[in-house]
Structure 1
């Protein structure tokens, strides 16, 4: 079966071929003929089954080669990431026709989205909140919508968007062509379909996550020590034939730490998690899809909508909460008939979770394999070249700007980077933040004016008590006049002694005495 045999217009067939998409998936074979005829459809399918082109190609074709300006088709999705993904797929299909697709979602400036709407975009892909926002401001009209799609409806239900979806339906004409796609069909979704759809036909796509998972995915389950896990992952990432890799972490903090660690080890890694703004997440996803980054580290929430066909490995840095989450994660690989490898690390405290997953998915592996970075089975299981270590190159000692490079997790052990700079912002006013007291809270009490000009011993905070007597005497003679004319100040000038001379204050003495200011002796 080909797209031409499914009666898809030749310009779209060619546009798909330009991206190596030559044969339709089963969900597309079932959906396209019905959708082209204007039949309302309920499609039960998950991300990765090819449903986007299943509803997208008929939607585009029904608008015509040169549709009039204005919104005529609406695709509603639960997340920003999925909105971007669907938009990109539809833009592939419309490459050779005068149809414009625009993404509408929160976390991004209104201006660009509004400009595209005013320019006459015909297809809108958006999240419920931002769509209703623009409708409320009368910046988006849905009165001309002829084609409407709800994608991943069950996720929108989980996220509390059901009432928003009903409001969007109310903004569209009563007569329209409607398609709804959902991985599961909970009661509220069924009720929604009955209320807003006309005699829909139910299509169930082959689920890639059913049963024990696809036969083309290998599952490896290890119990590794936390102190050794980064090294193990570093070696896995050097496996023969490894392509794009997705690593799942349980928390945002773990994702941020791991991307820094792997980058430090010489790998090309990016991260998507909740602490990043939308632009940063989009940039990371774009780099991953384009191959500029071949490792994507993600939390479960941020990973929604990730749909990249050439992922060869999935690594669960920490075990998922249950079997459904496990299937969702490992389903990022082994797509479109390709092979994939899923590696799961189980911590001691999570053995009970693995027992439940193992039982639910009938793996027959009650105990994860105890694994170290030097374990021979690690190399054979994943086809890692002998002698590989978890680092691609030596760690740089300096950053590109010339500043010393800090190892991940080393904060708090060294004095502050700006300590004692003696210039801008009070000579490293932040010196020692998160480090030891030796960094100096004021970084050597630098001049707040930023000039960094200091007198006597204050300018050199590292001068030790072992300075020769001759040097000390010379310094005292050179500053005797200054010491007699200038009073001691909070700015850090040398304190005058009883004999009228000013002697340089030893920073080491201050540190050993707990930072108390020495007083003049009689």
Structure 2
């Protein structure tokens, strides 16, 4: 975590269980981020929290520390059976649930607490058996959890802490009825601690909090720091047919180490992915219809650097914890400011810097005023130099893409291009020495 987003509050200032403190130390966590410094004094005292914070601000660590410390320092109810969970953490997406579980395993490595990761798409019988064997904390998406609950695989009778992460996304994805169902099946709000986190504390999110939580304390980390201070934002106004050549030239001359290109439709994801693949980029596409195993494989390749450009619909905009994303491209402007903030929040995480480059074509330009109103600033406009719309020469691997050098599936679900080392090296050399007649967009930023 970068120094500029850390506070002068240290984890050792809190009276944490020694096993939990040891896990934090192993992870290198000594000072709190702003949301942690705000949340922990309230949550560790047992009070309910409704927190406003973006993904990447350290909120996951905040609620995990609060939940684990409670379970380690307070006894379970006497009626609890071994397979009754004591805490339930609900996330809107599989990727977010997986990331929370990963963080929980790291922070809680010395605690002896048992975590059950429950989400749809994989391992139905294995996950059911895990619940039957017993756990202390369930980390789950709503649908699969309800399925097991209705089968009486486990009970909520012993739940003493609940967390709803990215509550606003629960509404966006249509999961809010499932969330309310789960909360109604748990002990009364006065008998358990509740924590809720959301990028925005909108009316509907606060209504959920006040309905199912016990006088929650509202805590907020200002979003302006996320959108303005460390993200260099800029917008271009290309015609629809100019977007692909502009994207290719920007990728070529900005030389981003790891990029996410956001589109609004699966058709656009397929079109952009195939074009980038033909030009030699190691590219993968992520949209809602990707089988879970392929999603995880693709995300791991992206994290490792085997895939350098990820083309994604908004299903990937929330909950992804991918370090060192240097550039976010809004190939299609999102519908509203909230989605814009979530998209560009993939870069400049935990104090790093990043670039967010948006294309306002005639199809989506009408969304720009609402976005600028939401973030409270005018996004700097960049002039498109004619040279940036020139067709780039085909890369060597593009000639053999259909023979296996690039793996491009017909479905937009996942498209992954793998280059041989020589092609990658050639591209790097070209990037280091751009043609003299093409001005680097970075110089106009």
Question: Hey, what's the Cα distance between the residues in 2 that align with 1:54 and 1:357?
Answer: 29
> Mapping of 1:40-439 within 5 angstroms?
40-64=48-72, 69-70=82-83, 71-174=85-188, 175-208=191-224, 213-224=227-238, 226-227=240-241, 229-239=243-253, 242-358=256-372, 361=375, 363-364=377-378, 369-374=383-388, 393-397=396-400
- Under a length normalisation based on structure 1, what TM-score does the superposition of the two structures give? 0.67
- Cα pair 1:358 1:366 within 8 Å, conserved: no
Cα distance change on mapping 1:217 and 1:366 into 2, 3 Å: closer
Distance 1:209 1:155, change over 3 A: farther
Residue 30 of structure 1 is matched in structure 2 by 38
Secondary structure of the corresponding residue to residue 395 of structure 1:
helix
Deviations 1:39-81 (A, max 9, x none): 2222222322221111111211222299995321101122222
Q: Corresponding residue for 1:4?
A: 12
What residue number does 2:443 align with?
none
- Classify 1:406/1:133 alpha carbon distance in 2 versus 1 (closer, same or farther; 3 Å): closer
Deviates more, 1:71-80 or 1:170-179: 170-179
Match of 1:443 in 2: none
- Counterpart of 2:111 in 1: which secondary structure? coil
Residue deviations 1:371-397 (CA, integer Å, cap 9, x gap):
445479xxxxxxxxxxx9676644242
Identify the structure with the greater helix proportion.
Answer: 2
Match of 1:506 in 2: none
Q: 1:137 & 1:287 partners in 2: Cα distance?
A: 36
Q: Distance in 2 between matches of 1:8 and 1:292?
A: 39
Q: Secondary structure at the match of 1:178?
A: strand
CA contact (8 A) 1:214 1:334 kept: no
Report if aligned partners of 1:262, 1:269 keep a CA contact under 8 Å in 2.
yes
For residues 159 and 376 of structure 2, the distance between their equivalents in structure 1, rounded to whole angstroms, comes to 47
Residues 89/290 of structure 1: CA separation in 2 closer, same or farther (3 Å cut): farther
Deviates most, 9-18 or 28-37? 9-18
Change (3 A) 1:310 1:12: farther
Confirm or deny: 8 A CA contact 2:266 2:313 kept in the other structure.
yes
- Tell me how far 1:399 sits from its aligned partner: 5.0
Q: Assess, with a 3 A threshold, how the Cα gap between structure 1 residues 406 and 140 changes in structure 2: closer, same or farther.
A: closer
Q: 1:171 to 1:352 in 2, by over 3 A?
A: closer
Where structure 1 has 5 or more consecutive residues not aligned to the other structure, the ranges are 377-387, 410-522
Tell me if structure 2 keeps the 8 A contact 1:74–1:145: yes
CA contact (8 A) 1:234 1:391 kept: no
SS at the partner of 1:148? Answer: strand
The C-alpha deviation readout for 1:189-224, integer Å capped at 9, x for no partner, is: 4344334333332222232567xx322211222234
Offset at residue 294 of structure 1 (A): 2.9
CA positional deviation for 1:316: 0.9
- Once residues 407 and 35 of structure 2 are traced to their aligned partners in structure 1, the CA distance between those partners, rounded to angstroms, is 50
SS at match of 2:157: coil
Tell me, yes or no, if the aligned pair for 1:235 and 1:390 is still in contact at 8 Å.
no
- What is the DSSP-based 3-state SS (H/G/I as helix, E as strand, rest coil) of the residue aligned with 1:397? helix
Q: CA RMSD in A?
A: 3.3
- CA separation in 1, counterparts of 2:109 and 2:243? 45
Q: Is the 8 A contact 2:44 2:70 kept in 1?
A: yes
Q: How many residues align?
A: 394
Distance in 2 (alpha carbons) for counterparts of 1:30 and 1:407: 46
Answer yes or no: is the 8 Å Cα contact 2:224–2:375 preserved in 1. no
- The separation in 2 between residues aligned to 1:16 and 1:257, in whole angstroms, is 44
Cα deviation code 1:209-268 (max 9, x no counterpart): 67xx32221122223455554443334334567332111011112112322332332222
- Give the Cα–Cα distance (whole angstroms) in 2 for the partners of residues 374 and 185 of structure 1: 41
Q: C-alpha separation between the residues in 2 aligned to 1:299 and 1:408?
A: 17
Mapped to 1, the partners of 2:62 and 2:152 lie a distance apart of 31
**Partner deviation per Cα, 1:260-304 (whole Å, 9 max, x = no partner):** 332332222222102322222222223223433232211113322
TM norm structure 2: 0.77
Looking at both structures, which has the greater relative contact order when contacts are Cα pairs under 8 Å and sequence separation is at least 6?
Answer: 2
Larger radius of gyration: 1
Question: Aligned with 1:314: secondary structure?
Answer: strand
**Unmatched 5+ stretches in structure 2:** 1-8, 411-445
